[in-house]
Structure 1
Amino acid sequence: MNESGFRYDPKRCALVVIDMQNDFCSPDGALAGCGFDVSAATAMTPRLANLIDHARDAGVPVVWVRTEHDETTDSPQWLGRVGNGPGTARTGLTCRPGTPGAEFYGVRPAVGEPLVVKHRFSAFVGTDLDRVLRSRGIESLLFTGVATEICVESSLRSGLFHEYWVSLVEDCAASYDPAAHAASVAVVAQNFGTVVTADELISRWPARPVTRSA
């Protein structure tokens, strides 16, 4: 099997869905309320929902990652990451546990699909994602969700550093800035993995035959 075939083989890969949550995607969410343009995320969501349906039909595991932030994980370094220290902490906090903003937007896990909660950009930092994947024999990861150049790319890079084959599903990831999305796609293709579209994956994933009882 060639490299691309290996990456997308339903027996070896998983579809990883990153941060499809109201605060990040909904026009009524926290980021939209702060002036971020979420139109790309809302437009991408039906494509992602369709890809998830095809993945399930083909027996491709779907692994969900969601963000939660609260006072137990909001360190001064995290809140002040784009400023000059604790006195420049960010406002407009997102995905507080138990709030509507932390809930899924447009897509959601089916019964039995693994769900990993993260507190930083990378889905591997401080989580059991690596254990979840290895226990299922997964060797290749197909990344989707938001935002392309932030949590999706951070998780993809970490996936490579954990010795997985990694790919970005270009049209099932979204950013708040088209130029940032395009730059992330280019960086991934040049340095980290492959870039693929939903239609290309669907064409590779024949639905599993239905087993009928006698």
Structure 2
Amino acid sequence: MSALPFRYDPAHTALIIVDVQNDFCHPEGSLGKVGNDTSAAVEMVPRLVKLIDTAREVGLPVIFIQTIHDETNDTPQWLNRHSDAEPGNERPGITCRTGSWGGEFYGVEPLPNENIVIKYRYSAFIGTNLNIVLTTLGIKSLLFTGVATDVCVESSLRDGLFAEYYVSLVEDCAATYSQEAHDASVRGVARNFGTVVTSDYLTSLWQSAPALATV
């Protein structure tokens, strides 16, 4: 029987990497170019890389979520989510366009055997095969990381809970464009949706019992 806390046991837990892509993280990405401060994402990614490496060492599945947008999924409702423009006057999409540099991963790289789930909205569960992937892997608990803490990461985490998974936010491996927004999301998750942990805590747990990866 595992001595690890249930929701962090590699035997049934997956690490979810949300939207660690150039347009969301790189200073020259589309969000950086329109004035968003990407420095927290830039600083976060090395910590995330270390956590990914440790997860792989103990056999914990790593699942990459990648946002992609183009004319096949840019509905008027999506493009007008920030405005009251009438249909036909939508603002153009600028992030993670199909085939663009902006849509490529930033500082992380999936291994050939790791799952990449393509998403089109904030939540990684909406219109994707994520739930099928998790069910096939026998996953019961999800550790959420990535960008942005208060948007796609939190949206995905909430839907993970609603899909009946145990959910946790790895707070130092998630980032957004202001510390205030990040902190508010962390508080909201801890209060209403799941647990909040750090990468150091997880690493210390996993490295103390690496044999559990084969359970």
TM, length-normalised to structure 2: 0.93
Displacement, 1:85? 3.6
Q: Measure the CA separation in 2 of the matches of 1:126 and 1:86.
A: 25
**Residue 154 of structure 1 corresponds to which residue in structure 2?**
155
Displacement, 1:208? 4.1
Specify the SS of the correspondent of 1:180: helix
Runs of 4+, deviation exceeding 6 Å: none
RMSD of aligned alpha carbons? 1.8
Q: Measure the CA separation in 2 of the matches of 1:197 and 1:89.
A: 40
Q: Measure the CA separation in 2 of the matches of 1:5 and 1:86.
A: 51
**Residue 168 of structure 1 corresponds to which residue in structure 2?**
169
Displacement, 1:116? 0.3
**Residue 42 of structure 2 corresponds to which residue in structure 1?**
42
**Residue 103 of structure 2 corresponds to which residue in structure 1?**
102
**Residue 200 of structure 2 corresponds to which residue in structure 1?**
199
Q: Measure the CA separation in 2 of the matches of 1:29 and 1:91.
A: 16
- Deviation string for 1:77-114 (max 9, x for gaps)? 00001111446634451101111000000011011000
Listed as ranges, the matches of 1:32-71 within 5 Å are 32-71=32-71
- CA distance 1:6–1:82, shift in 2 (3 Å): same
Specify the SS of the correspondent of 2:150: helix
Specify the SS of the correspondent of 1:152: helix
- Deviation string for 1:124-170 (max 9, x for gaps)? 00000000001000000000000000000000000000000000000
**Residue 14 of structure 1 corresponds to which residue in structure 2?**
14
Q: Measure the CA separation in 1 of the matches of 2:68 and 2:23.
A: 11
Listed as ranges, the matches of 1:114-129 within 5 Å are 114-129=115-130
- Deviation string for 1:176-214 (max 9, x for gaps)? 0111100000000000000000000000112746xxxxx
Q: Measure the CA separation in 2 of the matches of 1:90 and 1:153.
A: 25
Unaligned runs of 5+ in 1: 210-214
Task: Judge conservation of contact 1:122–1:151 (CA < 8 Å) in 2.
Answer: yes
How many residues are treated as equivalent by the alignment?
A: 209
Amino acid at match of 1:205: W
Task: Judge conservation of contact 2:18–2:146 (CA < 8 Å) in 1.
Answer: yes
Task: Judge conservation of contact 1:12–1:138 (CA < 8 Å) in 2.
Answer: yes
Displacement, 1:27? 1.1
Q: Measure the CA separation in 1 of the matches of 2:86 and 2:6.
A: 46
**Residue 212 of structure 1 corresponds to which residue in structure 2?**
none
Unaligned runs of 5+ in 2: none
**Residue 137 of structure 1 corresponds to which residue in structure 2?**
138
Q: Measure the CA separation in 2 of the matches of 1:7 and 1:174.
A: 22
Specify the SS of the correspondent of 1:106: coil
Specify the SS of the correspondent of 1:205: helix
Specify the SS of the correspondent of 2:63: strand
Q: Measure the CA separation in 2 of the matches of 1:31 and 1:86.
A: 24
Amino acid at match of 1:175: T
Q: Measure the CA separation in 2 of the matches of 1:94 and 1:86.
A: 21
Task: Judge conservation of contact 2:69–2:93 (CA < 8 Å) in 1.
Answer: no
Q: Measure the CA separation in 2 of the matches of 1:123 and 1:195.
A: 19
Task: Judge conservation of contact 1:30–1:92 (CA < 8 Å) in 2.
Answer: no
Specify the SS of the correspondent of 2:168: strand
